[in-house]
Amino acid sequence: MTEPASTLYAKLLGETAKISWEELQPFFARGQLLWADNSLNLVEVAQAVAADDSAKVAAWLQLGLVAKVDEARAQDYLQRDPELWAVVVSPWVLIQERPTGATLH
């Protein structure tokens, strides 16, 4: 039995937190990091991944709004050390860069 969408959303929102690139590097090394574009709601992306909504996730992947973190993005994060938010949807860790001072939407 799956959780109602609102319950899952609330659970994922509660598990979303600010994190440094340094803390994320082991997940990058294992190929377990997914990046979400700022135009998306990180918790909604996590909810779609958790609910196995393959149509929605595939659309985002095709549009380049969600992707595995590649070497170029990893190097950029290492150099800039931006503010990142993350939520775990095993086996993935979904991340999103936030402009300084921005709030989760």
Domain assignment of residue 36, yes or no: yes
Domain assignment of residue 8, yes or no: no
What residue type is 57 in one-letter code? Answer: V
Percentage of residues in the chain having pLDDT higher than 90: 87
Within its chain, how far is the Cα of 66 from the centroid? 8
Give me the chain's average pLDDT, please: 92
Domain assignment of residue 103, yes or no: no
Q: How far apart are CA 51 and CA 46, in angstroms?
A: 8
Domain assignment of residue 5, yes or no: no
Domain assignment of residue 1, yes or no: no
pLDDT per residue as tens digits for the range 26-50: 999 999 999 999 999 999 999 999 9
Whether pLDDT at 1 is above 70: no
Range of the domain at 35: 16-97
Domain assignment of residue 102, yes or no: no
Please answer whether residues 65 and 40 qualify as being in contact, where contact means their C-beta atoms are separated by less than 8 angstroms: yes
Whether pLDDT at 75 is above 60: yes
- Report the domain count for the chain: 1
Whether pLDDT at 73 is above 50: yes
- pTM (predicted TM-score): 0.88
Domain assignment of residue 26, yes or no: yes
**Arithmetic mean of pLDDT, 75-104:** 89
Whether pLDDT at 51 is above 70: yes
Name the pLDDT band for 102 (thresholds 50, 70, 90).
low
Domain assignment of residue 79, yes or no: yes
